[in-house]
Structure 1
Amino acid sequence: MPKGVRLAAALLGLLALAVVVVPLVVQLDQQLVDLAAAGQGPSLAHPLGTDEMGRDVLLRCLYGLRVSFVVGLVAALAGMLIGGLVGLAAGALGGVADRLLMRVVDGFSSLPHLLLGIFIVAMFAPSPWAVVVSVGVTHWTTAARIVRSEVLSLRERPFVEAAISGGASRARIVRRHLLPHLAPHLLLATVLMVPHAIWHETALSFLGLGLPPHLASLGNMINDGQRSLLAGDWWSSLAPGLFILVPTLSVSVLTQHWRDRLNPRTRSELSL
């Protein structure tokens, strides 16, 4: 395994362990305000300093990463479910149904994701479910294209043609021959969508349209930290930014390695 992949796995595992263990050991009061400790720089008591309200930045980053990861994972699963069903139907049915469904996919793909997401969350009060709906509705088209492409490829395989020649029903072909081969690609596409969903949630929270302002969220923390930059409190914005960048880059490196293992032919062609 390459060193970069091992490093990404170690960083992601360390962050996952901290996100799971720290909230169980140290409880965070979301409404806590300690003005006497406001704006303190990194120290032994507060490794990443405190924000303008006197709250520990490291602890809030860990809570915010947990919230962002859960919201991103649920949103990615929702987008994959919608896109997977559309792509499977388009590839399996073919003909007019395929052309009609792909025109719908093209229509959604032509819309700016962030603007459409803002429009969707603006119809609801700030909440995690509003972000999940926003990301799921705006990011299912990529999954639909991936699934349709794989289904069209599988339909040309000899074992599928043999099943069709043997009189197998369309439902049986999908259940017994298509879904088992699609599962690894669906899982990979879902994992790849998680970092994108986290960035989307962070952007919405930064604009004040995502999670409630009092909730520890990486987007909310960056939004709050930009006011502290004028006072020289750089850590209030840098820390949540790093907590977004490091896990998303780590996931990207691991999924790229996973994709190369699933498709060794593509890897060999790219290396030529």
Structure 2
Amino acid sequence: MASSPRLRTGLRARREARTAPRWPVRLAAAVLAVLGLAVLLVPPLAQLDQQLVDLRSAGLPPSVEHPLGTDQVGRDVLLRSVYGLRVSFLVGLVAALVSMVIGGLVGLLSGSLGGMPDRLIMRSVDGLASVPHLLMGIFIVAMFSPSPVAVVVSVGVTHWVTAARIVRSEVLSLRSRPFVEAAISGGAGRLRVVRRHLLPHLAPHLLLATVLMIPHAIWHETALSFLGLGLPPHLASLGNMINDGQHSLLAGDWWSSLAPGVFILVPTLAVSVLAQHWRDRLTPRLRSELTL
């Protein structure tokens, strides 16, 4: 008996998932593990103030004592990069969670209601999505003094539209499933259907979308801090460090800007690789269709 095209697609996707090279995923996991240990252990073990100014050590190139050199006022670049990565990651994580909560609620409400309310909500979402995120973020943080709260509000308010679209599409797909139709036919109320049938299936997709949002939130925070609108200047942030380091480039101190740039690029790429692998495992059939 011949198998259906859908079954063959699913089997091919699972076979490709098993035979795909694993070294990028393992490398990404190892990089995140090393950076995580550095963020947790380096500040307590160093016993140094990342704001400590030592003009006698200003502008030193990378060496054994200072592996990534010092900045223009003698602060250790490696230590400040580790502090900055911790601050940027925490701000990005909280901002991604706020964005996902707002977008998840809007998408769930839109997909559950359907009809005219769904169209009105999604047209409003499309209108907000047409405004550049960075421009809207600058407008929001300009109303506050530079602080982590202002950055979290800025990213959360400007990035929830993507989450709303993802959740709405999943809700519309789930509403046509037999088990949801059976629950509705059996007299289950709307809240019960959402709580017992929709949310358990949406949870993995929401968690994956949150992980994918973290690198974007970190880039957004870095851009705002680089422009002087994000975190306060005295707080070690990767964006603040790049902003400070650009004044040293003319003097040849390239390490002051390169080190925080690497600390931004490497972990965000590692998170993206792991999230992509997770998405392939979560939706193998989608992966197979995209590679046709």
What percent of counterpart residues are identical?
81
Post-superposition CA distance 1:83-124 (Å, at most 9, x none): 000000000011121011101101110111101000100100
For residues 28 and 69 of structure 1, what CA distance do their matches in structure 2 show? Answer: 21
Post-superposition CA distance 1:36-70 (Å, at most 9, x none): 00000000100000000100000000000000000
TM-score by length of 2: 0.92
Match of 2:172 among 126, 147, 152: 152
Q: Could you tell me which residue of structure 2 aligns to residue 221 of structure 1?
A: 241
Give RMSD over aligned pairs: 0.9
Are 1:30 and 1:214, in contact at CA under 8 Å, matched by a contact in 2? no
Match of 1:131 among 141, 148, 151: 151
More deviation in 78-87 or 16-25?
Answer: 16-25
Q: Could you tell me which residue of structure 2 aligns to residue 197 of structure 1?
A: 217
Which structure has the larger Rg over C-alpha atoms? 2
For residues 97 and 147 of structure 1, what CA distance do their matches in structure 2 show? Answer: 16
For residues 126 and 37 of structure 2, what CA distance do their matches in structure 1 show? Answer: 40
Q: How many pairs align?
A: 272
Gaps of 5+ in 2: 1-20
| Alpha-carbon shift at residue 32 of structure 1 (Å) | 2.0
| Alpha-carbon shift at residue 265 of structure 1 (Å) | 0.2
- Amino acid in structure 1 at the alignment position of 2:64: L
| Alpha-carbon shift at residue 269 of structure 1 (Å) | 1.7
- Amino acid in structure 2 at the alignment position of 1:40: L
Counterparts in 2 of 1:207-246, with a 5 A limit? 207-246=227-266
Are 1:30 and 1:215, in contact at CA under 8 Å, matched by a contact in 2? no
Counterparts in 2 of 1:49-88, with a 5 A limit? 49-88=69-108
| Alpha-carbon shift at residue 28 of structure 1 (Å) | 4.4
- Amino acid in structure 1 at the alignment position of 2:232: P
Gaps of 5+ in 1: none
For residues 104 and 204 of structure 1, what CA distance do their matches in structure 2 show? Answer: 26
Secondary structure of the residue aligned to 1:145 is: helix
- Amino acid in structure 2 at the alignment position of 1:53: V
For residues 37 and 110 of structure 1, what CA distance do their matches in structure 2 show? Answer: 48
TM-score by length of 1: 0.98
Secondary structure of the residue aligned to 1:55 is: coil
For residues 170 and 269 of structure 1, what CA distance do their matches in structure 2 show? Answer: 33
Are 2:50 and 2:83, in contact at CA under 8 Å, matched by a contact in 1? no
For residues 185 and 47 of structure 2, what CA distance do their matches in structure 1 show? Answer: 62
- Amino acid in structure 1 at the alignment position of 2:265: L
Residue 260 (structure 2) pairs with residue 252 (structure 1): no
| Alpha-carbon shift at residue 270 of structure 1 (Å) | 2.5
Secondary structure of the residue aligned to 1:51 is: coil
C-alpha spacing 1:27/1:132, structure 2 compared with 1 (3 Å): farther
Counterparts in 2 of 1:144-183, with a 5 A limit? 144-183=164-203
